[in-house]
Copies of this chain bind each other. A is one copy, B any other.
Amino acid sequence: MKARVIVLPKEGVLDPQGKAIQGSLHALGYDAVTDLRAGKCFVIELADLPPGKARKLLDEMSEKLLANPLIESWKIELETA
């Protein structure tokens, strides 16, 4: 089964990378962009597991390795539900 983990800076946490990219987009003339947050995406191929179990496993992996729980939040998306 395939899953996606999206890791983003928590609301309220400064995101200098996102701000820099937003600034560059404005410099290129893309003024329609009013906010941008930059994060990470992990596309994970997993052995077949019941969705609940897969979600629990991915949550554990995110907390331990993929994200920094102090400043980042994550969202798990299973492609085969």
Instruction: List the interface of chain A (C-beta within 8 A of B).
Output: 4, 6-8, 18, 21, 24-25, 28, 30-47, 49, 57, 61, 64-66
Known contacts A24-B65, A65-B21, A65-B25; A43 and B39 CB within 8 A of each other: yes
9 contacts between A and B (CB under 8 A): A4-B6, A7-B41, A18-B42, A31-B47, A35-B45, A36-B43, A36-B44, A39-B41, A40-B40
Residue on B with the closest CB to A43? Answer: B37
- Give the one of A18, A33, A44, A64 with max B CB within 10 A: A44
List, in ascending order, chain B residues with CB within 8 A of A45's CB. Answer: 33-36
- Contacting pair B41 A41 (CB below 8 A): yes
